[in-house]
Structure 1
């Protein structure tokens, strides 16, 4: 929160004293009582974070460890690990222009306002009334009659305050503050999710660029095979069926090339939406992928509890629900309230004198005796909501470990898969060369060449798909590890000072 400029009215007691009179005295007295009331007892259970199912280590890291990268993930800019300027340019815009993120930001700002709303209940409610009247006969309107009576009541002030003896309001503040921190974590999770979606779409787009380049090379190679087949057909050494098969090969790959263009355009449109821009405003130049994605720093399982924003949000929700249990318990205790009023009243009261002074002060206690089980039901409901929050928290932790383990095993095994696929691709390329030479010599049928070329294209596409999957798995792993998030940032977001709640409610004095 941005620092507020010092205000003359930030101190409610000083402001009240400056106004003067019994009204100012009442405000000052009750404000001091409010400050003292903050230290009163607070009923209900104090929050302790429940244990979560955390393992000692990641199962899929046993016996395998990725190479240590030269640079760790930058805080807040985890995508910089890929060292791609275009990705960096695009991902940096998500926090500013993504509308889902903007919606979560508004939700967090609303939660902050609710914290201040809860804080306001700790303080007295102050009001002032100015009124006056004048009466006379009908002739008075023409200036020839007489005024029968006149009077003024100026000013009158009233103070009412429900003392937070049992901590009900403080539990409400605790609930609002924890909910605001949960919303802040949800905001961070929305940012991380949108950034990860953009990175996935970006790497998928780059894969389509590389696929189109592969298909373009394949079309050229198939056109050369078609030329050879046509020459042999013209010389009468092969049948027309071979020529038709060669032409069909070219057309099929050309169709794949166009389909890849459609997919690329759609990924580009998705990226535009993620950065909050219409597709017509975004054009991404053709590019490619590095051979392998960078290694992601391995972390201890326990750090997930501090680095995953969704886990942090679930944990803060637990505290918010725990505080509501205290609110429900406080309903069993008497409600104590004070009221005070004062002012000046009477005909021709100005200048104000003690003879025109009026004042009153009183107290009231309300102790519920019978409510048909309402408070018991509300307490049980609050306790059940807390248990639900605990279960949701633990399930969120379990899901987090599952997601991390899934991506670790994917990276480990797909790296092996890629090596095998590259070996198969190289063998398939050798086979195409051999069979094509033998076909020229007339020692093998054209179907042998067709099968070999189809196998090579399939192997090359498999290599590209696995590389794409490795990049996507790396993005998912970073996302599931929490990106650059740190839950300690949430606890640094403290509720605004109590004096701010008071200052916001008081009128600004004339300068």
Structure 2
């Protein structure tokens, strides 16, 4: 039975515990999770309920402080097509497969390095045919011809007196934690990008539709003006002015079509498809719904919910353990070795008492003079720990900024949508008035052209503001961590074989337990 199988079945747990008991006090710093920032909110002042407006994306929203983030947060938009997009991306995107494999690799490395805490046992067997001349021993006569059978089982064990090996395994487990949260970050980024890109596609489609409707209306107006010019009711300059306006409006359509096509290509990439595999599925902007209540995690929980913060914390943990490894390398080490076996000239006598052979040895090694190499190596690990700590703090600051930005955007874009709807309504009334005044002869056709352009701009801006409301909601869920702690994102591709090697060491207390999701 292999050591791997024994570890999997737990048969070597007592041996591992005994090995850990010889480790003594592990040198180096003992890692503790950094404390959350001592703040009670993300912005100055408490954000009020957002303003409501008529039309898609106009629902008033309120913030539920302390509420939990749902596991499948994209369902809040109540769009079946978005759910289909997200599921396809999760199933097909290679970045998730790569993250799963990276996590499995890190866990396998940690499992492999646990062997350093156990004795090394090997088995050797040999048979040799020898011919030795008697002259070699000062005798005369024919050469001596014989066969020698040998077996031996060498055993070697280096007790982890100063905990250097335990710190190394601790670093491996921290590296596995890092890959675990990198997987969560990849999952969160992918799902958020899919939803945001689908919303952008809906926005481009609505802008194109508005522009096409404007073009059709302007073409009808050109035809009407040409008829009136033929009757002498309007000047040719009015016809030419309207044709110029029509050409300008048509010129705005290709950039929108290009942007939508490129956005569709990006969406296909997120879904794991090639651009030529676009089947035309889309999410109409009018079919999306905004959630009335938006969760806002308390700041003390954000550092446990954001996968990028947890990944940065794992890097600090790994750097802390590496300091312990480097410190232990500066100290002496003891190696215990033994060997048992037998030697015989006949195979039948190989296991007899007269053929037995054994040996026991102990050795101590330690640095005497290395010109400061080990010291400076340790100091480099200390500097790496300080660097990872600074990066962790930077990650926390960025995370809090992300949440604050999303909260402000939700509030501001709600106000913007209400203003854009009012601007569109006023622009439509202004165009009707300008057309009526032109027919009555009280104004020039230029005022009609300006009113048309103002209405087109107002309608496009209204569509953009509607899409921003949905995108802001996505940004908030993403900035809060995406609810990964309420679901299981790992697949068998991320699991070491055997799984749960780290749990073997928990009873001895030498290694930290795997991190747990934040409390709901």
Match of 1:126 in 2: 121
Is 2:92 aligned against 1:97? Answer: yes
> Once the 2 structures are TM-superposed, how far is the Cα of residue 338 of structure 1 from its aligned partner?
0.9
Q: Which residue of 2 aligns with 1:179?
A: 175
Offset, 1:220: 2.1
Change (3 A) 1:126 1:116: same
1:284-337 Cα deviation digits (max 9, x unpaired): 334422476334212212221111000011111111111111112212321011
In the TM superposition, what is the alpha-carbon distance from 1:156 to its structure 2 partner? 1.8
Q: 2:214 matched to which residue of 1? A: 218
Distance 2:98 2:455 in 1: 49
Decide whether aligned partners of structure 1 residues 11 and 402 sit closer, same or farther in structure 2, where only a CA change above 3 A counts: closer
TM-superposed CA distance for 1:224, in Å, is: 2.3
In structure 2, distance between residues paired with 1:463 and 1:33: 67
Offset, 1:191: 1.3
Cα deviation for residue 89 of structure 1 reads 0.8
| Cα-to-partner distance string for 1:48-88 (whole Å, 9 max, x where unaligned) | 2233534211215614144268x97431x221121111111
What is the correspondence of 1:388-427 to structure 2 with a 5 Å cutoff?
388-427=387-426
Q: What residue number does 2:467 align with? A: 468
Deviations 1:320-375 (A, max 9, x none): 11111111221232101111112121210324201111111111111322222222
Question: After alignment, is 443-452 or 231-240 more displaced?
Answer: 231-240
Query: C-alpha separation between the residues in 2 aligned to 1:443 and 1:462?
Result: 30
Q: 1:486 to 1:258 in 2, by over 3 A?
A: same
Give the direction of change, closer, same or farther, for the CA distance of 1:9–1:56 in structure 2 (3 Å limit). closer
Residues 285-296 of structure 1 correspond to what in structure 2 (within 5 A)? 285-290=281-286, 293-294=290-291, 295-296=293-294
Alignment partner, residue 274 of structure 2: 278
Of the structure 1 ranges 159-168 and 361-370, higher mean CA displacement relative to structure 2 is found in 361-370
Are the equivalent residues in 1 in contact too, given 2:82–2:283 (CA < 8 A)? no
**Alignment-derived partner of residue 266 in structure 1:** 262
- Please say if 1:42 is aligned against 2:26: yes
Whole-angstrom distance in 1 between the partners of 2:461 and 2:7: 71
**1:459 corresponds to:** 458
Alpha-carbon offset, residue 254 of structure 1: 2.9
Inter-partner Cα distance in structure 2 for 1:172 and 1:467: 53
What is the count of residue pairs matched by the alignment?
470
Q: Which has the higher contact order (CA 8 A, sep 6+)?
A: 2
* CA positional deviation for 1:112: 0.7
2:514 matched residue in structure 1: none
What pairs with 1:222-241 in structure 2 (closer than 5 Å)? 222-241=218-237
- Could you tell me which runs of 5 or more consecutive residues in structure 2 were left unpaired when the two chains were aligned: 50-60, 133-141, 490-494, 506-520
2:147 corresponds in structure 1 to: 151
Does 2:412 align with 1:428? no
Quick one: distance in 2 between partners of 1:398 and 1:430? Answer: 47
Conserved in 1, the CA contact under 8 Å of 2:77 and 2:289? no
Equivalent runs, 1:14-413 vs 2, <5 Å:
31=15, 34-35=18-19, 37=21, 40-59=24-43, 62-65=46-49, 66-67=61-62, 73-75=69-71, 77-134=72-129, 149-290=145-286, 293-294=290-291, 295-351=293-349, 352-413=351-412
Q: Return 5+ residue gaps in structure 1 as ranges.
A: 15-27, 138-145, 500-511
The two structures, once aligned, show a CA RMSD in angstroms of 3.1
Conserved in 2, the CA contact under 8 Å of 1:132 and 1:153? yes
- Provide the C-alpha distance between the structure 1 equivalents of 2:103 and 2:267, rounded to a whole number of angstroms: 25
Distance in 1, Cα, partners of 2:314 & 2:8: 34
Closer, same or farther in 2 for the Cα pair 1:332/1:480, shift >3 Å? same
Is the CA contact 1:118–1:173 (under 8 Å) kept in the aligned structure 2?
yes
- Is 2:19–2:159's contact at 8 Å kept on the other side of the alignment? no
Q: Judging changes above 3 Å, is the alpha-carbon distance between structure 1 residues 475 and 9 closer, same or farther for their aligned structure 2 residues?
A: closer
Q: Structure 1 residues 484, 58: CA separation in 2 closer, same or farther (over 3 Å shift)?
A: same
Query: Distance between the aligned counterparts of 1:212 and 1:198, measured in 2?
Result: 21
**Contact 1:177/1:494 (8 A) holds in 2:** no
TM-score normalised by L of structure 2: 0.83
Shift of 1:172: 0.6
Q: Deviations over 1:154-180 (max 9, x none)?
A: 432211121111111001111110111
Residue 122 of structure 2 aligns to a residue whose secondary structure is: strand
TM score, norm. by length of structure 1: 0.84
Q: Secondary structure at the match of 1:169?
A: helix
Question: SS where residue 237 of structure 1 aligns?
Answer: coil
Asked whether the equivalents of residues 76 and 290 of structure 2 are also in contact (C-alpha less than 8 Å), the reply is no
